[in-house]
Amino acid sequence: MTRHAFAFGAHYDPAWASFGPMVCHDDHLLATGRGFDEHPHAGLEIVTTVVSGELVHTDSTGTERTLGAGEVAVLSAGTGVRHAELASSRGPARFVQVWLTPDDPDTAPAYAATAPGAGPGAGLVPVAGPDGPLAVGVAGASYAVARLDANETVTLPAAPRLHVYVASGALLRSSLAEPLHDGDAFCMTDEPAHELTAGVPTDLLVWSLP
């Protein structure tokens, strides 16, 4: 099962094909051992966040890695790479994948991964961009995650564009929106910093974009 946030395939909407450099935001649920067999990409920064289960990544650079829940990887497709993403044999896997248009598409393919270690009380934990352990080839872009307890509040950064995704849990109603649940997202442009409060244990994926 896949949930697409932007226009995709037959469901094309020219008014909602991208958000700044973000051209894809998909939420995939894979059955055991199933997924996306080897296929090509070029000129993209592909950021994968595993929400649950284990995701097996292989690519034409020779990388083979199994990502567990909470881990994040960046595949810079550059001039061209082939890769596959499959749920491991240990059970189903769910992951969120974002594609960004890089500033320079003519780079050598590269892959890196990290475990951010987000947890209650840690707030937004930087993952990719200037303050995170992973590089992403878009100037001014950064990615952070938060794992909130019920009634815990987090402050979103001010940014030209902000994309916030509720990967699990739920947010209480705020000045921004009605209550948001697993799979909901919102986009903001040129907004000041805002606070969000979790109604139950909640995982947030937050992109600040130029």
Q: What are phi and psi of 159, to 5 degrees?
A: -160, 155
Domain ranges of the chain: 2-114, 125-209
pLDDT at 6 over 80: no
Give the Cα separation of 176 and 195 in Å (integer). Answer: 9
How high is the pLDDT of residue 105?
Answer: 96
Tell me if the pTM is above 0.85: yes
Interval 89-102 mean pLDDT:
97
Q: What is the Cβ-side half-sphere exposure of residue 71, based on CA atoms within 13 angstroms?
A: 15
Give the Cα separation of 136 and 134 in Å (integer). Answer: 7
Instruction: Name the token pair of 203.
Output: 């995982």
pLDDT at 73 over 80: yes
- Which residue shows structure tokens 């289960």? 53
pLDDT at 164 over 70: yes
How high is the pLDDT of residue 5?
Answer: 74
- Report the CATH fold assignment for 2-114: Jelly Rolls (2.60.120)
What is the per-residue pLDDT across 16-70, written as a single tens digit (0 to 9) for each?
Answer: 788 999 999 999 999 999 999 999 999 999 999 999 999 999 999 999 999 999 9
In 3D space, the residue among 142, 137, 133, 134 whose CA is nearest the CA of residue 163 turns out to be 142
Regarding predicted confidence, which is higher, 38 or 15?
A: 38
pLDDT at 141 over 70: yes
Mean of pLDDT over the chain: 93
pLDDT at 175 over 90: no
Candidate CATH numbers 1.20.1560.10, 1.10.287.3510, 3.40.30.10, 2.60.120.10; the one for domain 125-209: 2.60.120.10
- Among 125-129, 151-155, 187-191, the minimum mean pLDDT is found in 187-191
How high is the pLDDT of residue 177?
Answer: 62
- Among 17-31, 57-71, 109-123, 180-194, the minimum mean pLDDT is found in 180-194
| Domain 2-114 and domain 125-209 have a common topology | yes
